[in-house]
Amino acid sequence: MKKYFVLGVLFILPIVAYLFFASGIHNFAKLPILKEDVPELQAASAVQLQNKITVLGFLGNTIEREGGDLFNLNQKIFKPFREFDDFQFVYLVPQTIDATELDRVKTELARLTDISNWHFVSLPQETITAIFKGLNTPYDLMADGGSKYIFIVDKDRNLRGRDDDEDEGVLYGYDSSDIAELSNKMKDDVKIILAEYRLALKKNNADR
């Protein structure tokens, strides 16, 4: 009996362990949907959210305030993932923005990495406000029309985030001025959503 018990344990235990860890990986590989049907950009825009994994930001007129945040994002989030297909950064900027100052920031960013998949889309402020409100978050735009929060939007224009965050409870967006939040939360969440789509792509290819 002891022999069969030992053999049973040796046979069953690895299976149980596999199922346990496989379940954990499956759950980890899904980033919750917090809001469906995020508003699309204007039809005339060459940049669209549909069919792209997007980090969406709102750059107000005060570029001096946001400049440091953009460089933090470039190093912590954009640069590590910029070579993934269908991954893009989109910042909405008011048409009243200082174009010379914006060009200077873009030039500085381009010195650090290829920013061909980082788009600054100029829109009327009322359009930017409507898109921001369409995210249905508890945040408000600042007086200059921008926000320190950035958001993950999937290929179907769903807002992704955390529904069990240890600090916020529901984490709709990530504070671009907080390096620790970018490194410890947002970077992990971008990894999750990219892995989710890679697994879905592999499954689709295997089913063909």
Query: Do 25 and 53 have their domain in common?
Result: no
Judge if 13 and 49 occupy the same domain.
Answer: no
Same-domain pairing of 24 and 38: no
Is residue 134 predicted with pLDDT exceeding 60? yes
Pairwise CA distance, residues 89 & 128, whole Å: 16
Q: What is the pLDDT of residues 136-189, one digit of tens each?
A: 999 999 999 999 999 999 999 999 999 999 999 999 999 999 999 999 999 999
30-49 mean pLDDT = 92
Report the CATH number that the domain containing residue 160 is assigned in CATH: 3.40.30.10
Residues 98 and 185 in one domain: yes
* In a shared domain, residues 19 and 48: no
Q: What is the pLDDT of residue 203?
A: 65
Structural domain that includes position 13: 1-30
Q: pLDDT digits over 70-116, tens only? A: 988 999 999 999 999 899 999 999 999 989 989 999 999 999 899 99
Q: What is the pLDDT of residue 163?
A: 95
Tell whether 61 and 127 lie within a shared domain. yes
* Same-domain status, 57 and 160: yes
Assess whether 7 and 73 both reside in one domain. no
Same domain, 97 and 171: yes
Return the percentage of the chain with pLDDT > 90, whole number: 66
Q: In terms of domains, do 12 and 51 share one?
A: no
Global pTM value: 0.82
Indicate the average pLDDT of the chain: 85
Query: What is the per-residue pLDDT for 17?
Result: 44
Q: Are residues 26 and 38 in the same domain?
A: no
**Residue 23 scores a pLDDT above 50:** no
Structure tokens at 82: 């910029």
Please check whether residues 87 and 99 belong to one and the same domain: yes
Q: Count up the domains in the chain and report the number.
A: 2
